[in-house]
């Protein structure tokens, strides 16, 4: 039996925390010391020992592991044979009584490869379906569907925990991994560009009262409060789309606009690389091992979207404009989601912020109906 279990979780709406808590519950029942750490901007702390088990619970982004997790694994000290187990979360859904599993792709085994490279002994990988929290695209699942998915996930996690804690191995998700390899181009594009663009689709509507809850909750500190008269949240390129800001805003003020997405699409598809290469770089560059056209276009997209978003944020300071954009947003009418039976106070200490009262970080009752 392991002497210490260190549970690392990356969470925005509580799903990964819930999975980590189930594992911790099983470990505590066996008399094992449990430590829980949130995967956030600061480096994780760990003293590698063969008597220690590290468990990683995190969401799947773009059919692979998110940047934040990959970075934190690379920042860990050398494993020296420390055991590790990996629990990538998948976006499970249920419609009309029919459950649809998520797909973790390469998330679990990519993390496993990095841990092996760092000197850790990977004991197991298991994808877990938890209620999809991507309310930027769809409404939050109903209470009935949420409870059904969670009820199916809990025994699966605890069985996995029992196997790993008894020093056995448990590897699952080979088929999703193979599909993830086939979808690798999508995953790469998501990590390099898609994730960055998604962060710029968020905006604060006219409901925002500048309470700073979203900025305080962000584990990557990717939200800053900006504005000349009234401070409003501004999403930087560091955003990992964990959905904490949207789903925990007490006023339902954080929204996503498809109009912004359309604007960024037209800006980003301007063939600036072709213009630059044809007018300023007349020499043929086909012999180079890299695509200068792609690099130039990538840099252009990042700069142009950054400038466009700055202008948009300034325009949102005009209340009429923010109200108009909000009326056209599909998310204005969506039910929000966060893991039931999990209060943000359960993992708020990991964010290093203070919370005054329980009601401060709860939904407006109208958003829960």
Q: What are phi and psi of 58, to 5 degrees?
A: -155, 155
Please indicate, yes or no, whether residues 115 and 82 belong to a single structural domain of this protein.
yes
Q: Over 90: is that where the pLDDT of 43 sits? A: no
Q: Over 60: is that where the pLDDT of 359 sits? A: no
Cα torsion through 203, 205, 211, 213, rounded to 10: -40
Please indicate, yes or no, whether residues 346 and 299 belong to a single structural domain of this protein.
yes
Please indicate, yes or no, whether residues 99 and 149 belong to a single structural domain of this protein.
yes
Please indicate, yes or no, whether residues 231 and 355 belong to a single structural domain of this protein.
yes
Please indicate, yes or no, whether residues 105 and 207 belong to a single structural domain of this protein.
no
Please indicate, yes or no, whether residues 143 and 29 belong to a single structural domain of this protein.
yes
> What does the pLDDT look like over 122-147, one tens digit per residue?
999 999 999 999 988 888 899 999 99
DSSP string, 205-232: -TT-----HHHHH-TT--EEEE-SSS-E
Q: Which residues of 315-324 are buried (b: 16+ CB within 10 A; e: fewer)?
A: ebeeeeebee
Please indicate, yes or no, whether residues 96 and 158 belong to a single structural domain of this protein.
yes
Cβ count within 10 A of residue 39: 25
Q: Which domain holds residue 140?
A: 4-182
Indicate the range of 44-53, 167-176, 181-190, 329-338 predicted with least confidence.
44-53
Kind of pairing, strands 254-256 and 202-204?
Answer: antiparallel
Please indicate, yes or no, whether residues 23 and 163 belong to a single structural domain of this protein.
yes
CATH of the domain at 146: 3.40.50.360
Please indicate, yes or no, whether residues 256 and 335 belong to a single structural domain of this protein.
yes
Q: Is residue 196 part of a domain?
A: yes
Confidence of residue 47 (pLDDT cuts 50, 70, 90): confident
Helix (H, G, I), strand (E, B) or coil at 241: coil
Q: Is residue 354 part of a domain?
A: yes
Q: Is residue 143 part of a domain?
A: yes
Token readout for 258 is 């498809």
Please indicate, yes or no, whether residues 98 and 178 belong to a single structural domain of this protein.
yes
pLDDT, residue 311, reads 92
Please indicate, yes or no, whether residues 215 and 90 belong to a single structural domain of this protein.
no
Q: Is residue 187 part of a domain?
A: no
> How many independent structural domains does the chain possess?
2
Please indicate, yes or no, whether residues 338 and 247 belong to a single structural domain of this protein.
yes
Integer Cα distance of 281 and 86 in angstroms? 48
Q: Over 80: is that where the pLDDT of 279 sits? A: no
Which of 130, 160, 182 lies at the terminal end of a domain, its last residue? Answer: 182
252: left (phi over 0), alpha (psi -120 to 50) or beta: left
């Amino acid at each position: 039996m392991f002497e210490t279990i260190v549970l690392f979780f990356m969470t925005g709406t509580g799903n990964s925390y819930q999975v980590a808590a189930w594992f911790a519950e099983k470990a505590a029942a066996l008399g094992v010391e449990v430590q829980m750490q949130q995967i956030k901007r600061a480096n994780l702390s760990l003293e590698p020992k063969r008597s220690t088990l590290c468990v990683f619970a995190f969401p799947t982004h773009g059919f692979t592991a998110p940047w934040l997790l990959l970075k934190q694994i690379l920042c860990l000290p050398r494993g020296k044979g420390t055991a590790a187990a990996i629990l990538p979360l998948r976006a499970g859904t249920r419609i009309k009584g029919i459950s649809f599993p998520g797909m973790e792709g390469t998330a679990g085994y990519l993390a496993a490869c990095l841990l092996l490279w760092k000197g850790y002994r990977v004991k197991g990988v298991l994808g877990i379906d938890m209620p999809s929290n991507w309310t930027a695209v769809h409404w939050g699942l109903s209470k009935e569907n949420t409870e059904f998915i969670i009820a199916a996930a809990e025994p699966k996690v605890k069985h996995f925990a029992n196997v790993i804690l008894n020093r056995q191995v448990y590897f699952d998700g080979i088929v999703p991994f193979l599909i993830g390899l086939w979808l690798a181009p999508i995953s790469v594009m998501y990590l390099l560009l898609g994730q960055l663009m998604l962060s710029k689709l968020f905006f604060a509507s006219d409901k925002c009262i500048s309470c700073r809850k979203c900025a305080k909750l962000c584990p990557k500190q990717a939200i800053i409060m900006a504005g000349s008269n009234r401070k409003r949240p501004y999403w930087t390129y560091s955003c990992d789309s964990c959905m904490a800001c949207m789903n925990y805003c007490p006023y339902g003020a954080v929204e996503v606009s498809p109009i912004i997405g359309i604007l960024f699409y037209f800006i980003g598809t301007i063939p600036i690389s072709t213009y630059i290469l044809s007018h300023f770089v007349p020499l043929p560059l086909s012999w180079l091992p890299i695509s200068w056209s792609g690099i130039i276009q990538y840099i252009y997209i990042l700069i142009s979207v950054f400038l466009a978003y700055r202008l948009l944020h300034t325009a949102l300071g005009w209340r009429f404009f923010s109200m108009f954009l909000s009326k056209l947003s599909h998310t204005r009418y969506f039910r929000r989601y966060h893991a039931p039976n999990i209060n943000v106070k359960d993992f708020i200490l990991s964010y290093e912020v203070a919370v005054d009262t329980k009601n401060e970080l709860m939904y407006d009752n109208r958003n829960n109906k």
